[in-house]
Amino acid sequence: MHKLLFVQYESCKHHIKIFVDTMVNNYGFTLVNISSGFKYNTSITQLLNDLSITLYDVKCFFVIDSYNDILVHHIFNDFYDYSNINRYIYTDSFHIEQDTKSINYYNNFIKIFTPHLKQFLQKYDVNSSLVYWVPHASSSSSFKHEKVEKKLLVCGKNLSTHPFRRKMIKESINELIEYKECVTQNELKNYTACFADCSSMHFIGPLYFEILMSGSLLVGEDNCYEDLIKLGMIEGIHYIRCTESDIMQKLDWIFDPINEPKINIIKKNAVNLATKLHTIERRIDHIMRIINNYSIKELFLLSDYNSLNKYHIFGIEKSGTHAITTWVHRMQSNSILIDDATKEFCTPDSLIPKISEETNKVKCYEKVVTNFSSKQPLLFLHKNSPMVEVNTIITDCKVLISKLIIIIRNPYNNLASILKNYLKEDEIASIIKKFIDLWKQYFYVCMQYPECVVVYDEWVNSRGYRVAVANNLCLSNKEKNIFQITERGKSSFDTNSKNIEINSVLRRYENYRSNELYNELVMNDKELKVMWNSITTVFCSSLKNYKYSIMTNTPALII
């Protein structure tokens, strides 16, 4: 049985030509190039005679409609007369002409495929159950680490429908930005990063997928953020999300040499995602499954669980967990904090049934969230989890390293606050021993996930460190009310204070220097000294005066 593919091949854009070639070469379609040699008012009967095909050997007509003024019935005047032949259309454009032969053009097709589903349904009066979302995609490419231009490439026409692109074209006087109207996918990989925008109509163009596949870093506009999440594109994992207001700040981060290893990881993740979910072959597979009435689960979507924007934050109590979590919470609009979260409430079985169409306005929950929109970031705060449990949650809940935060604090400050908090307890010695052991476990967790560590003392002491941590999370640092104490983050010492006193926070240990129990269990623990000195050496730049020997005015420890 023959499948006839009708398209104006010569006038197609590059990505559509690849789409057509793949359908012909890999899926057995017969190309009918209606821009080549056909006159107006040709009949289908004449076409079949020319192809030596009988009407009974035709399985379907498939039309690809891509920014063409000439529609298929302009050439074949009897195209709609063969009711026994199924007609399908893939449309990548919006036609001004909606009424042909007194009926809607698109209603002549039994199934309609488009990369612009929402916009299409808003414009055309068609049965929505017959319209299927088939996003753009990319041809395969090879990813190589090679010397590239340390620039952001901006490409595409300077159109009124792309205001962000117009802004970036004006910014191309900047030595970090280069503009080209037309580029091939092979050219994209010659740049450190490439910019893609969604247009004022808010749909994702093919450039997003071509950049993903090319091996360049995708710097993408966020006005299609929800659809990007559905397609598995997670900010900070597969691309860098940007707005008109923060694009230059993001470029500063991208072109900082210290971030090159992270950029390379994002590029690799992007190529893996594009290869797995966003090839042209995968899109056509999806179309063919629909045509053949097979299961129509979208082959290009991640599972609902994997596409959720989930942050997992681990820390010991009194280690600054609430201050840092509140800071991350404030940097993300509509995010929901789940305080004191446990593994059982973070798994797919727990979260997927709670995904809602509506945005949940509640800012914080204890242990378990009731419902949330798929586009709302979730912040799971895990307190006092031992190392085995930390690793179990990371594995079982599919925690992404770029969404993982391990908080650790100077143990002498952390344990001073613990002592203050539990001072009236009968078993205070065993409690302190338990937290010393837990702090040591967190030391090993820090060494296991070094790129995820946030040292609370350094965070308090250095704005530059806060900016770096925010950038590492692909967020924009917000300093407003950053040291304001919330009810959840109340200090054991400054119980009436409304704001953190930085110097006091960094010197909590001084409150218990004369405490016998504190000196015996904490200050005399040699392993603790070595571990804290290692933390300051590996992760800190502003805490040189808080190494053990300097804090206590004692000679450096010799092991």
Domain count, the chain: 3
Q: What is the pLDDT along the chain (559 residues), one digit of tens a residue?
A: 899 999 988 878 888 888 999 999 988 899 998 877 777 778 888 888 888 888 888 999 999 987 666 788 888 888 888 888 999 999 887 654 544 433 578 888 999 999 988 888 888 888 888 999 999 998 876 555 456 788 899 888 767 778 888 888 888 778 888 888 888 778 888 899 999 887 667 778 888 999 999 999 999 887 777 788 778 888 888 999 888 888 898 999 999 998 888 898 899 889 988 888 898 888 998 888 888 876 555 555 555 677 788 999 999 999 999 999 999 999 998 999 999 998 888 887 788 788 887 888 989 988 888 888 888 899 999 999 999 999 899 888 888 888 999 999 999 999 999 999 898 888 899 999 999 999 999 999 999 889 899 999 999 999 999 999 998 888 888 888 888 766 555 554 454 455 678 888 888 998 888 899 999 999 999 999 999 989 998 898 888 888 877 777 655 443 3
Contacts of 66 (CB under 8 A, 6+ apart): 7, 8, 11, 12, 13, 16, 91, 92, 93
- Check whether residue 321 and residue 461 sit in a common domain: yes
Give me the domain span that covers residue 110. 2-133
Q: How far apart are CA 213 and CA 139, in angstroms?
A: 8
**65 assigned to some structural domain:** yes
Neighbouring C-beta atoms of residue 393, cutoff 10 Å: 22
**143 assigned to some structural domain:** no
Contacts of 434 (CB under 8 A, 6+ apart): none
- Check whether residue 164 and residue 116 sit in a common domain: no
**559 assigned to some structural domain:** no
- Check whether residue 122 and residue 165 sit in a common domain: no
- Check whether residue 110 and residue 153 sit in a common domain: no
- Check whether residue 160 and residue 120 sit in a common domain: no
**206 assigned to some structural domain:** yes
Q: How far apart are CA 376 and CA 308, in angstroms?
A: 8
- Check whether residue 123 and residue 156 sit in a common domain: no
Query: The pTM is what?
Result: 0.63
- Check whether residue 401 and residue 509 sit in a common domain: yes
- Strand-pair partners of 103: 100
For residue 522, what is the DSSP state? I
At residue 492, the pLDDT reads 47
**371 assigned to some structural domain:** yes
**291 assigned to some structural domain:** no
- Check whether residue 127 and residue 171 sit in a common domain: no
- Check whether residue 331 and residue 433 sit in a common domain: yes
- Check whether residue 509 and residue 382 sit in a common domain: yes
**558 assigned to some structural domain:** no
- Check whether residue 127 and residue 153 sit in a common domain: no
Query: The domain that contains 94 carries what CATH number?
Result: 3.40.50
**289 assigned to some structural domain:** no
DSSP 3-state percent helix, strand, coil across the chain (nearest 5): 45, 20, 40
- Strand-pair partners of 100: 103
- Check whether residue 457 and residue 332 sit in a common domain: yes
Q: How far apart are CA 19 and CA 286, in angstroms?
A: 13
Domain end call among 133, 164, 186? 133
Copy the structure tokens of residue 414. Answer: 């952390």
Domain end call among 277, 301, 331? 277
